[in-house]
Amino acid sequence: MYWYNICMEEIRILSKSEIKDAMHGLPGWTFADDALIKMFKFNDFVASVNYLNKLLPFFEEFQHHPNIHIFYNRISFDLTSHDYGNKVTNLDTFIAKGIEKEYKQFMK
C-alpha cells in the first residue's frame, strides 16, 4: 500500500558500529540514549502537523510508533524499537530514511 519499496530482513538490534555506519546515510541524525534522534523545522504549527499526518500511514504500515515531540514549528523524532528492549534496530534506520524522504518531498 505505501510508497516505499522494501525487502525487509528480520528485525534485529544493531551494534554500535552498525549504527555508526547507518548514520552516514542519515544526515543530521544523532545517536543518544539508545535512540536515533533528529529535529525537523517547518514554517508554522500547521505545516508541522500536516507533515506528521503524512507519515502516520507509514508508521502504521510498519508497526513502528516513534516518540514524537512537537514544538510549534519543529518536530523531533526519537527512534527506538520498544519491542526490542528500546534499542536501535534495522527497522529504526529504515524508518529514519522514510522520514527523510517524506521531509524532502514535503518541503518542495
Q: What percent of the chain has pLDDT over 70?
A: 93
Tell me the CATH number of domain 16-106, given options 3.20.20.70, 3.30.1360.20, 3.30.1960.10, 3.40.50.10140.
3.30.1360.20
Query: What are the sequence ranges of the domains in the chain?
Result: 16-106
What are the tens digits of pLDDT across the range 41-69? Answer: 999 999 999 999 999 999 999 889 999 99
Cα dist. 106→16, 32, 42, 45, 46 in Å? 31, 27, 10, 14, 13
